[in-house]
């Protein structure tokens, strides 16, 4: 039986586009159904899953909903109902993938609905506001949603719009076909124990060495980019699913970025999920001494700081001593709550490829301030282990792996 | 006949395994792949069809010297240039079916730069660890699809395999489904905007009656830039630029102000017939009341939702008239400015909060004084959202298109 692709749309506005998508998807041999998540106007055409059905599933009373004339207040009703519907289809094994077409409101609702489905179910949003600053982050969050920019306004079928939609239909069908070939692994039941590890460009040599060492020992390493979303996704996955044997938090810079309001901020609960769920962890301060404020938010005093231009878009500034102490403090607070073994390893020769011993950016007195504060604040049983090497060396990677075996009791 | 292939861009020193896996998955689906290595640090993990040194050379650099120099930001710049050149060669030889790229921060910057250099309609899929952030610099005004990698792309594991397979499926599905976007003799671009006039909506059936198709751009900054770029690609037979509101927002860096320097200029420069209206020039829109500069406080004001619209002054509209005149200078095709006398948006009409015909008149007089002689200006005694206005705009554009051919 071929699986179903659900098309999410506000049918009072963009039904034509959704119906074109439906035809394109069906022409490729998949079944498709339009789910009307519309708010106020009448649907422009036939929807396999009607607005009434969605409202019923939301658990709200139809008469009560009929009285809501405020679009914004109808949105949660439709999102709740649609989530019920797609989860039900998923639990019956019927959903192959999900796709939405919309502007700001439609994409916001559509992606909220998609985020309720597990990792690995193909999720695709076509949006006229995909490229507006900050919108992608809001739409995708930590989930595996694919976002396509429609470029033109989604307002009627014309040859440009048809081109965009037929490519989107091709993409979702291709994705659904893939996910049938490579099914979503049953997490926690994979053959090799999974280790989560955070990554950051300037700490990549270390990450590669650690991964090679662990893979030789029969572990599989899942990397998360410490760019503020990936590391948050790691926390979310650990919070929700027990799949990781242990965590190597090589690059916990998102904690300081969060405290200082910088661009790689990883949320207030970063560094907490592993401890809370009893997952053993080894921490290193990879890149923690660097900050990445948005360039538009540079303060005058930043011109006095040491700055590293990493590529055309990204520059990093060294944190001040006070900031280093503040970050150490926050990290100690979080780790002190951990319910599983924790070790914190400090490379004395620099904390990333940017500030190796011998470079201008190597400032051991600042690093020392961080370490002293950390030792002062951490619980007695949490070891801070200093390693006389720089973070990017094989020696440090080996030390990390050794500490990992210790916390895992392996 | 040349068989089109999918260009696969990545840094093979760090993402070699993923690139090799993607290649295999795409090829299994019957499509050829050309790999292009934009890595600048270590040695590639697998051979590339277009290797590092060839890319560097195309970008005007010397790979071995670049390695010695070790200036990351310089190297990335060279590799980006080189990759764009190589993609352009493939495209001009008709060999490019689509582009798939994979990367973290740097890889996404390079991959999307390559994609942005290619025309609308060529499938573009970017697998990125940074997809769920501000992607406006990466996607910009282009039809790029971003696949959020969720996890870091370092090695194959049960999670990355799912993401990579999805990406292979997506690009193959897109390439199979894509038809080349060709300049269509009957395609008209129009601008619209939430709180301003419904002229575009009214014009659609009128244009369709005459055998045209209409494509709408949301004039919110990004939309205006996309419009100018696609006019420059030669996609449109004519333009109905009803909403020029972005220009006033630009004066104060307002809600729709991020439009660059080309807004309004491209059609005249390229010779595409265009009719321009002052939709939304009555107001500057700010994200919230807190963003309204002190010097504008005390003016007529409209609360939209959390956004607020402030009435424009004579002084500001004089600047806009000068901008019109500059950007429409030496037009290579017919340009018309059509001004309704009874208001320029839903909040600028008789009885509405921002209605002020004397300021509008001041703008018209300035335009008459400043506009180049080739540009004609017509006044219409109606509101911009009246059917009469849309009809006159459509008819005027239709005449231009016929006489210009």
Tokens representing residue A70 in the block:
């405020």
Reply yes or no on whether the pLDDT at A241 is more than 80: no
Q: What is the DSSP string of A240-286?
A: H---EEEEEE---THHHHHHHT-TT---TTTTTHHHHTT--EEE--T
Q: Are A165 and A15 in contact (CB under 8 A)?
A: no
* Higher-scoring residue by pLDDT: A393, A181: A393
DSSP at B195:
T
Q: What SS3 state is found at B315? A: helix
Tokens representing residue A180 in the block:
């049938």
> Residue B157: what pLDDT?
79
> Residue A155: what pLDDT?
83
* Higher-scoring residue by pLDDT: B4, A313: B4
Tokens representing residue B242 in the block:
């009803």
pLDDT digits 0-9 by tens, A74-115: 999 999 999 999 999 998 989 999 999 998 889 999 999 999
Return d(Cα A396, Cα A311) in angstroms, integer: 26
Of these ranges, A213-222, A388-397, B39-48, the one predicted with the greatest mean pLDDT is: A388-397
Of B140, B151, B226, the CB nearest to A222: B151
Of A136, A163, A221, the CB nearest to B178: A163
Sheet holding B283-286, edge to edge: B283-286, B308-311, B301-303
Enter the ipTM: 0.77
Q: Which helix (H) or strand (E) holds B157?
A: none
DSSP at A118:
P
Separation in Å, CA B24 to CA A328, B100, B286, B344: 45, 13, 50, 56
Q: What SS3 state is found at A207? A: helix
Q: What SS3 state is found at B390? A: helix
Of A178, A211, A229, the CB nearest to B154: A211
Sheet holding B33-37, edge to edge: A31-36, A4-9, A95-102, A123-127, A145-149, B145-148, B124-128, B96-103, B5-10, B33-37
A30 vs chain B: nearest CA distance in angstroms?
A: 13
A134 neighbourhood in chain B, CB within 8 Å: 134
> Residue B130: what pLDDT?
85
Give the pLDDT of chain B (405 residues) as one tens digit per residue.
Answer: 458 999 999 999 989 999 999 999 999 999 999 999 999 878 899 999 999 999 999 999 999 888 888 888 899 999 999 999 999 999 999 999 999 999 988 899 999 999 999 988 899 999 998 888 788 888 888 999 999 988 878 778 777 888 999 999 999 999 986 666 665 668 899 998 766 557 888 999 999 999 998 888 888 777 888 899 889 988 899 999 999 999 999 998 887 777 778 899 999 999 999 999 999 999 998 888 888 999 998 899 888 777 788 999 999 999 999 999 999 999 999 999 999 999 999 889 999 999 999 999 999 999 999 999 999 999 999 999 999 999 999 999 999 999 876
Comparing CA positions, the residue from A234, A231, A232, A252 lying closest to residue A243 is: A234
Contact with chain B for residue A410, Cβ under 8 A: no
Question: What is the average pLDDT value for chain A, to the nearest integer?
Answer: 91
Of these ranges, A147-151, A217-221, B6-10, the one predicted with the greatest mean pLDDT is: B6-10
* Higher-scoring residue by pLDDT: A187, B234: B234
B105 neighbourhood in chain A, CB within 8 Å: 201, 225, 227, 310-311, 313-314
Contact with chain B for residue A27, Cβ under 8 A: no
Return d(Cα A266, Cα B266) in angstroms, integer: 42
**A167 vs B123: CB contact, 8 Å cut-off?**
yes
> Residue B1: what pLDDT?
45
């Amino acid at each position: 039986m071929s699986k179903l692709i659900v098309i999410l749309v506000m049918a009072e506005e963009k039904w034509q586009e959704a119906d074109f998508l439906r035809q394109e998807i069906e022409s490729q041999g998949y079944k498709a159904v339009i789910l009307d998540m519309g708010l106020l106007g009448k649907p422009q055409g036939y929807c396999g899953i009607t607005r009434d059905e969605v409202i019923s599933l939301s658990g709200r009373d139809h008469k009560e909903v009929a009285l809501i004339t405020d679009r914004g207040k109808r949105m949660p009703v439709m999102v709740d109902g649609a989530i019920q519907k797609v989860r039900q289809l998923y639990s019956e094994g019927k959903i192959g993938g999900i796709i939405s077409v919309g502007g700001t409101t439609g994409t916001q609702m559509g992606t909220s609905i998609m985020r309720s489905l597990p990792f690995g179910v193909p999720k695709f949003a076509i949006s006229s506001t995909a490229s507006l600053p900050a919108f992608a982050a809001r739409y995708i969050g930590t989930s595996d949603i694919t976002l396509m920019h429609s470029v033109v306004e989604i307002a009627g079928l014309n040859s440009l719009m048809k081109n965009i939609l037929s490519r989107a239909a091709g993409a979702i069908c291709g994705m659904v076909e893939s996910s049938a070939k490579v099914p979503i692994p049953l997490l926690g039941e994979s053959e090799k124990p999974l280790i989560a590890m955070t990554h950051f460009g300037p700490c990549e040599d270390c990450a590669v060495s650690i991964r090679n060492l662990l893979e030789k020992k029969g572990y599989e390493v899942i990397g998360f980019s410490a760019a503020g979303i990936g590391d948050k996704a790691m926390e979310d996955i650990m919070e929700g699913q027990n799949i990781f044997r242990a965590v190597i938090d090589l690059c916990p810079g998102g904690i300081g970025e969060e405290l200082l309001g910088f661009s790689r901020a990883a949320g207030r609960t970063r560094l907490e999920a592993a401890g809370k769920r009893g997952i053993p962890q080894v921490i290193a301060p990879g890149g923690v001494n660097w900050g990445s404020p948005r360039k538009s938010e540079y303060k005058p005093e930043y011109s006095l700081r040491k700055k590293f231009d990493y590529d055309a878009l990204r520059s990093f500034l060294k944190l001040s001593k006070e900031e280093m102490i503040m970050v150490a403090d926050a990290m100690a607070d979080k780790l002190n709550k951990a319910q599983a073994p924790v070790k914190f390893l400090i490379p004395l020769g620099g904390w990333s490829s940017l500030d190796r011993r011998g470079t201008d950016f190597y400032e051991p007195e600042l690093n020392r301030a961080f370490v002293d504060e950390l030792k002062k604040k951490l619980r007695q049983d949490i070891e801070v282990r200093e390693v006389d090497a720089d973070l990017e060396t094989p020696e440090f990677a080996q030390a990390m792996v050794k500490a990992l075996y210790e916390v895992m009791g392996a | 006949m040349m068989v089109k292939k999918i260009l696969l861009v990545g840094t093979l020193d760090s993402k070699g395994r993923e690139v090799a896996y993607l290649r295999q998955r795409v090829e299994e689906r019957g499509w050829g792949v050309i790999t292009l290595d934009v890595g600048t640090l270590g040695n590639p993990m697998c051979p590339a069809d277009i290797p590092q040194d060839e890319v560097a050379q195309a970008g005007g650099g010397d790979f071995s010297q670049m390695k010695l120099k070790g200036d990351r930001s310089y190297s990335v710049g060279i590799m980006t240039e080189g990759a764009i050149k190589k993609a352009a060669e493939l495209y001009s030889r008709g060999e490019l079916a689509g582009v798939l790229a994979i990367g973290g921060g740097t890889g996404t910057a390079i991959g999307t730069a390559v994609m942005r250099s290619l025309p609308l309609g060529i499938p573009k899929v970017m697998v990125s660890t940074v997809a769920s952030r501000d992607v406006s610099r990466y996607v910009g005004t282009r039809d790029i699809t971003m696949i959020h990698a969720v996890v870091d792309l370092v090695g194959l594991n049960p999670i990355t395999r799912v993401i990579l397979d999805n990406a292979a499926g997506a690009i193959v599905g897109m390439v199979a489904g894509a038809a080349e976007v060709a300049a269509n003799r009957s395609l008209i671009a129009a601008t619209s905007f939430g709180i301003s006039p419904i002229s575009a909506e009214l014009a659609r059936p009128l244009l369709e009656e005459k055998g045209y198709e209409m494509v709408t751009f949301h004039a919110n900054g990004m939309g205006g830039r996309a419009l100018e770029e696609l006019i420059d690609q030669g996609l449109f037979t004519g333009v109905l630029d009803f909403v020029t509101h972005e220009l006033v927002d630009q004066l104060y860096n307002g809600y729709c102000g991020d439009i660059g320097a080309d807004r309004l200029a491209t059609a005249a420069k390229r010779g595409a017939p265009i009719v321009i209206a002052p939709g939304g020039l009555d107001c500057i829109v700010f994200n919230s009341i807190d963003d309204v500069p002190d010097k504008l406080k005390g003016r007529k004001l409209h609360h939209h939702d959390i956004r607020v619209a402030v009435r424009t002054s004579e002084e500001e509209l004089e600047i806009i008239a000068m901008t019109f005149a500059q950007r429409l200078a030496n037009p290579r095709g017919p340009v018309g400015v059509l001004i309704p006398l009874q208001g320029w948006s839903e909040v600028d009409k008789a009885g509405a909060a921002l209605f002020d015909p004397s300021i509008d008149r001041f703008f018209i007089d300035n335009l008459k004084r400043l506009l180049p002689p080739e540009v004609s200006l017509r006044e219409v005694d109606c509101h911009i959202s009246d059917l009469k206005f849309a009809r006159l705009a459509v008819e005027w554009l239709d005449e231009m298109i016929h006489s210009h051919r």
